[in-house]
Amino acid sequence: MTKVFSNSKSIDDKVRKNVFNFDRIFKWIAAGAAAYILAIIILMVIEVARGGEPALTRFGFDFLTGTDWNPVEGREVYGALPYILGTLVTAAIAMVIGVPISIGVAMYLSEMASKNIRTPLSFIVELLAAVPSVIYGLWGLFVFRSYMKDFIEVPLSNSLGFIPIFSGRPFGLDVLTAGVILAIMIIPTVSAVSREVMMAVPNAQREAAYAIGATKWEVFRHAVVPYARSGLFGASILGLGRAVGETMAVTMVIGNAVGAAALPTSLLQPGQTMASIIANEFNEADPFSLHPAALIAIGLVLFIVAMAINVAATLMVSRMVKTKGSIE
Amino acid sequence: MNARSEIYRGIAFAVILSTIVAMTVTPALAQAGDDVSIAMKHKKKVTLIAVKNTGDEPIYGFKIKFMDSTIKFAKAKGWDREKVDTSAIMVKTSDKPLSPGKSLLVILIVDNKDAPYAWSALNAAGKEIATGGTMQITETQPITQQPQPEPKQEEKTSKFQPTQLSSAVTLNGAGATFPFPLIDKWRVEYAKVNEKVSINYQSIGSGGGVKQFIAKTIDFGASDAPLTEDQFKMLKNPIHYPETIGAVTVTYNLPGLDGKPIGSGLKLTSEMVADIFLNKLKKWNDVRIATLNPEALLPDEEIIVVHRSDGSGTTFVFTDYLSTVSKEWNDKVGTGKAVEWPTGIGAAGNEGVAGVVRQTTYAVGYVELAYATQTGMSVAALENQEGEFILPSLESTKTAASNAATTLPKPWEDWSKVSIVDAPGKGSYPIASFTYLLLYTNFGEISGMTQEKGQALVDFLYWVITDGQRFSSTLEYVPLPDGVVEMNIEALKKLNFNGTPFNIPG
């Protein structure tokens, strides 16, 4: 009797010991996986900073404010301002057009659509998010461009051409087209996430609003949006991240001007983004010049801009959760 | 139930398999089935001719003439037919030529299918490049095109004997993307000449090619631009070995006032080309263009400039031309693979520029000769030093290279200042450029080199500038003029492996 008891106790100990060991190993594996991400980011920053260092030390602050971009031997000057502005302007256009449409899509899917429509439509929206960007680019270059030109840009230029941002003769490959293509590209992502966020709003919220006689719009406006606000904001930032970093589609439709000609002074003129100039010029950049270093330095700036957007967004989301998390 | 579905699956599989076999083994016959049945329905006498292109040039048409018979109908898949007279017919295509090594089935309906006939193959320009003579035909008789190389080339072919190698060698090269299609063709063709030699060429761009050449990790580099003076001095007399010539065309998409596109041959002076790309000449009906081209119905529209967005040898050659002919361009922009364009839309690659120009009315851009020829775009006739307006073509580019060749340095001298844009002499097209293979005089400097491997490389280099040149024109590259070939052979004689020279074949 005692023998059996002591035996069972020792087995118990063994098992516990094993479990304990495995748990510790598992913890280290998980920590390693997390450390890997951190290590990648740190290495990336170090490597990009090191690669871009020759151009940054040579041009200093002028690299950020300069508008000339001249890789010709003996006349090398690199200024990234047109591309920084190009990135910000195209992303802004994408947000202005894309986010309201995305939230509209999400609202329809989560609040109004019947189950029969909701499931296939949600599936299609998610499917769109998986379309490779080069496809959007090709479609933009060969199809969408001429519609943009004939139905949007030419009327804009004819009626509002006196405003500087709509000046110049439109031909469809420009900052506006790039922004609209980006808007189309971020809609699936933003609307899919927004829909999830809205679906997560407890039904009690809606029912309470309906109970006091609210219309559909009022329910949406006063019961769903306040509850889902931080999530919707996060979804938009996800879209912004994509818009800032998108390379292939933008390169194909933005018109790829260089230097001062790329300053986005008019939406109907060709421009250039940070991602697109790297994609365009890195391949044949003369390894004996500062050209590759300047392009890598642009990569660093892009990295910092993307990081800044994300950090700012996180801060705003957390502040919003604190102050406006509940119903107004 | 299960067994039955197995059988169905078996049948389906057999059908698919036999279809695949039929399609791969006898593509022409399988595809032509419909046409034959139509012909049978009309109770005409049908004859089928399977033609295989055994030559080097793509065939754009066939002319078939019957001696004692009348042709009622002729057809080849995807080709147009044109009746010459009752006994002769032409089948031809403008965009789907019969490439070398491919077969095509020509279906003819004739009164007397046993009649003797003669046929000839035509190239893109409609010139006869091969004839089949007079012979009898029977159904589905294969006919092979007899290649008719020019006598001079045949002479060269017979001379070349590669050195026998004791083991297989791989020659590694890297660099420019522009000559890649031609070098790749050479890789394939040279394997037939000497199966022990395989060529490995990576088209990573001229800059990368030069970098690897300096690092001595490859056997030969390739670059569209010559080495700079500093690089040349650092490497102690490397050799520039021109292997082919490229030309850049100014192409446009310009509907005239009557709505019809203005075709090739719009005359532009070098100053006008520079001013267009400087955004100083802004309208198509500018008085300067209009005076020079009184016959063209020029529209009152802004010129839309299209340029390359990626770094490129094409841009280097084009900006070299603009810098040579325009002081203002030289001062403001300069020469480079990527420059600060004062105006215009950027598109990636020759195909990108060609695509944007074709889609954008009133656009002007620059593309390599091959792209302009293959896509049938309108190209400008540019003014050369003699005041002539020259259309870009293989001939006018070759003329430019020949005329410039007299002033070239020796291959082992400094080429950094060499440029054959705006070449002097009658008939020269002004935007042309050599593209170079880069070599060390002493192969011993390259890691992993041996005397035998060096000999294999010298053999290949010799073959490239002699027999290899006949592949140039089909791929729209300009063959080297004789002066440059001789100069290259001189350079081969300088090559050595730690002091031991190589045998020069031929």
| Residue A234 within a domain | yes
A–B interface: beta-carbon pairs under 8 A: 107
User: Which pTM was predicted?
Assistant: 0.73
User: Which of helix, strand or coil describes residue B91?
Assistant: strand
* Whole-number pLDDT of residue B151: 42
Structure tokens at B55: 């030559």
Kindly identify which residue of chain B lies nearest to residue A252, measuring between CA atoms.
B347
B69 near B144, Cβ under 8 Å? no
* Whole-number pLDDT of residue B33: 34
**A20 and A135 housed in the same domain:** no
Helices (H), B311-359: 313-325, 327-332, 349-359
A66 near A80, Cβ under 8 Å? yes
Kindly identify which residue of chain B lies nearest to residue A79, measuring between CA atoms.
B340
Kindly identify which residue of chain B lies nearest to residue A143, measuring between CA atoms.
B359
Tell me the ipTM for this assembly.
0.83
**Cα end-to-end span (Å), chain B:** 73
Q: Which residues of B287-311 are buried (b: 16+ CB within 10 A; e: fewer)?
A: eebeebbeebebbeeebbbbbbbbb
Write the CB contacts of A77 (distance below 8 Å, at least 6 apart in sequence). A59, A66, A68, A69, A70
Q: What is the per-residue DSSP string for A245-301?
A: H--HHHHHHS----GGGGS-SSTTS----HHHHHHHHSTT--TTSSHHHHHHHHHHH
| Maximum CA extent, chain A | 100
pLDDT in tens, B347-384: 988 888 998 999 899 999 999 888 888 888 999 999 99
**Nearest 5°: phi and psi at B378?**
-75, 135
Write the CB contacts of B475 (distance below 8 Å, at least 6 apart in sequence). B181, B182, B185, B370
B336–A71 C-beta distance less than 8 A: yes
**A22 and A145 housed in the same domain:** no
* Whole-number pLDDT of residue A46: 95
Of B309, B335, B339, the CB nearest to A280: B309
| Residue A72 within a domain | no
A281–B344 C-beta distance less than 8 A: no
B210–A287 C-beta distance less than 8 A: yes
CA angle, B314 then B316 then B317, to 5°:
70
* Whole-number pLDDT of residue B63: 80
* B343 and A CB contact within 8 Å: yes
A287–B345 C-beta distance less than 8 A: no
* Whole-number pLDDT of residue B464: 93
Q: Mark residue B101 as left, alpha or beta (left: phi above 0; alpha: psi -120 to 50; beta: remaining).
A: left
* Whole-number pLDDT of residue B62: 79
A287–B207 C-beta distance less than 8 A: yes
**A112 and A226 housed in the same domain:** yes
* Residue ranges making up the domain that contains A8: 2-59
B207–A281 C-beta distance less than 8 A: no
Task: Report chain B residues whose CB lies below 8 A from the CB of A290.
Answer: none
CA angle, A218 then A220 then A222, to 5°:
60
pLDDT by 10s per residue, chain A, length 328: 444 455 555 566 666 666 667 888 999 999 999 999 999 999 999 999 999 999 999 999 999 999 999 998 888 999 999 999 999 999 999 999 999 999 999 999 998 888 899 999 989 988 888 899 999 999 999 999 999 999 999 999 999 988 888 988 888 899 999 999 999 999 999 999 999 999 999 999 899 999 999 998 999 999 999 888 888 988 998 899 989 999 999 999 999 999 999 999 999 999 999 999 999 998 888 888 899 999 999 999 999 999 888 888 888 778 776 655 444 3
The domain spanning residue A170 has which CATH number?
A: 1.10.3720.10
**A168 and A39 housed in the same domain:** no
CA distance B338 to chain A (A): 6
**A177 and A142 housed in the same domain:** yes
**A85 and A204 housed in the same domain:** yes
User: What is the share, in percent, of chain B residues with pLDDT greater than 70?
Assistant: 83
| Residue A67 within a domain | no
Domain total of chain A: 2
- CA–CA separation, B191 and B201 (whole Å): 14
CB-facing half-sphere around the CA of B273: CA atoms within 13 A: 32
Candidates A216, A222, A217, A273; CA nearest to A249 is: A273
| Residue A73 within a domain | no
A281–B339 C-beta distance less than 8 A: no
**A45 and A156 housed in the same domain:** no
| Residue A155 within a domain | yes
**A52 and A188 housed in the same domain:** no
User: Which of helix, strand or coil describes residue B250?
Assistant: strand
Kindly identify which residue of chain B lies nearest to residue A141, measuring between CA atoms.
B356
**A200 and A252 housed in the same domain:** yes
* Whole-number pLDDT of residue B476: 84
**A86 and A233 housed in the same domain:** yes
A280–B341 C-beta distance less than 8 A: no
Q: Specify the amino acid at residue A264.
A: P
**A6 and A116 housed in the same domain:** no
- CA–CA separation, B57 and B102 (whole Å): 11
- CA–CA separation, A292 and A278 (whole Å): 9
B403 near B424, Cβ under 8 Å? yes
| Residue A65 within a domain | no
pLDDT in tens, B109-140: 777 766 767 777 888 777 777 766 444 443 44
pLDDT in tens, B68-98: 777 777 777 778 777 777 778 888 887 778 8
| Residue A135 within a domain | yes
> What's the distance, CA A66 to chain centroid?
26
| Residue A75 within a domain | no
Of B207, B339, B355, the CB nearest to A284: B207
**A211 and A179 housed in the same domain:** yes
Structure tokens at B151: 């006598």
* B215 and A CB contact within 8 Å: no
